[in-house]
């Protein structure tokens, strides 16, 4: 845990112990929780998320996957 103060311009200094989490220039998202807590987290680039999703490789029985898809289709759109 670290402590800081809000200065006259509304700025908050992140304590040195925590600054190594974010490199200079890192985009961050700042949110306030319903409990009034301030959250600071790294902003994720949409392209990075897409690359991660595309890298996911599913494994399993292809025939079973097709049969499950056929069952699901009939549940939503009828015969």
Q: Is residue 55 domain-resident?
A: yes
Among candidates 24, 26, 20, 22, which has minimal Cα distance to 45? 26
Q: Is residue 8 domain-resident?
A: no
Q: What is the mean pLDDT of residues 67-79?
A: 62
What's the domain count of the chain?
1
Confidence of residue 74 (pLDDT cuts 50, 70, 90): low
Contacts of 12 (CB under 8 A, 6+ apart): 4, 5, 6
Q: Is residue 72 domain-resident?
A: yes
Residue 35 structural domain: 16-77
Q: Is residue 40 domain-resident?
A: yes
Q: What is the mean pLDDT of residues 55-76?
A: 67
Q: Sign of the C-alpha dihedral, residues 20, 50, 40, 29?
A: positive
Q: In this structure, what token pair is assigned to residue 76? A: 């939503």
Q: Is residue 45 domain-resident?
A: yes
What is the spatial distance between Cα 63 and Cα 71, in angstroms, rounded to a whole number? 13
How do residues 10-60 score in pLDDT, each as one tens digit?
999 888 888 888 888 888 889 999 999 989 888 887 887 888 888 887 776
Q: pTM of this prediction?
A: 0.47
Q: Is residue 65 domain-resident?
A: yes
Q: Is residue 11 domain-resident?
A: no
């Amino acid at each position: 845990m670290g402590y800081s103060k809000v200065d006259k311009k509304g700025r908050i200094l992140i304590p040195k112990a925590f600054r190594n989490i974010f490199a200079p220039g890192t985009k961050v998202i700042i949110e306030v929780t319903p409990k009034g807590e301030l959250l600071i987290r790294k902003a994720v680039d949409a392209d990075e998320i897409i690359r991660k999703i595309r890298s996911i490789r599913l494994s399993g029985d292809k025939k079973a996957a097709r049969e499950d898809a056929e069952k699901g289709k009939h549940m939503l759109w009828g015969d």
